[in-house]
Amino acid sequence: MADAPSTAGFMSEEFLKAVQAGDAGRVEALLSADPTLKDARTRAGVHAVVLALYYGHGDVSKAILARGPVLDLHAAATVGDLPRVEQLVAADPASVGACSADGFPPLGLAAYRGHEAIVEYLLAKGADVNQVAKNRGRFTALTGAVSSGHREVVRRLLDAGANPNYGYEGGLTPVLEAAMGGCVPILEMLVAHGGDLTAETEQGETAVSIALEHKHPETAEWLRSRGAK
């Protein structure tokens, strides 16, 4: 006969489901019943504070942070805790290039979340601006910043040598990602750093077709005026 699941294990599973669902009330109740849940992780090793952000539940992430969890470097970079990032990198300088349990380097996580000060710090400490995530998405810091619309982070990464024509996930590039978001200022930065407006996905989608598909006609017109198809 198989062993019955432990109460602690059951509560952890229930807690993570509540985090994923964005059920702030249930999350608070479970944290009150078992404060150690503040450091719960998924089976893939993702911290609960990060899991909440992955699912767009910033309030839930803040509720967990208020309980004082112990953050590793990747969680600290994701939530924007610069002092904790500095502390951990000082203790292990090589960690700037280490990937999280789900395959993301600290720089990529900070860029995706728009934490400019952490991006600056990690670059100053030797983080590879073009490091590729070790997962199916194969994102870079630049693709994350572009997809989230963080203009100043995009600017800083490009100035540090980020590749504006990096191809990933079915042939997307930062230019095509920016067209999807309809962000002309980001497109202007990418082009200024050599971004290719004629890039296509593996399915033959162009910057113009992607902009139109995502209801950005003004962006499509801007692209056409600069030779994109």
At 46-100, the pLDDT tens digits run 999 999 999 999 999 999 999 999 999 999 999 999 999 999 999 999 999 999 9
At 207-218, the pLDDT tens digits run 999 999 999 999
Supply φ then ψ for residue 91, to 5 degrees. Answer: -75, -30
Q: Is the pLDDT of residue 41 over 80?
A: yes
pLDDT at 3: 37
Mean pLDDT to the nearest integer, 106-127: 98
Mean pLDDT to the nearest integer, 104-108: 98
Dist. CA 206–CA 55, nearest whole Å? 29
Locate tokens 């539940």: which residue? 57
Question: What is the pTM assigned to this prediction?
Answer: 0.91
pLDDT at 2: 37
Q: Where is pLDDT greater, at 112 or 3? A: 112
Mean pLDDT to the nearest integer, 19-27: 97
Residues sharing a CB contact under 8 Å with residue 217, sequence separation 6 or more, in sequence order: 211
Q: Is the pLDDT of residue 1 over 90?
A: no
pLDDT at 6: 39
Q: Is the pLDDT of residue 35 over 70?
A: yes
Residue 37 pLDDT level (bands cut at 50, 70, 90): very high
Residue 18's nearest CA partner among 44, 45, 55 is: 55
At 177-207, the pLDDT tens digits run 999 999 999 999 999 999 999 999 999 999 9
pLDDT at 143: 98
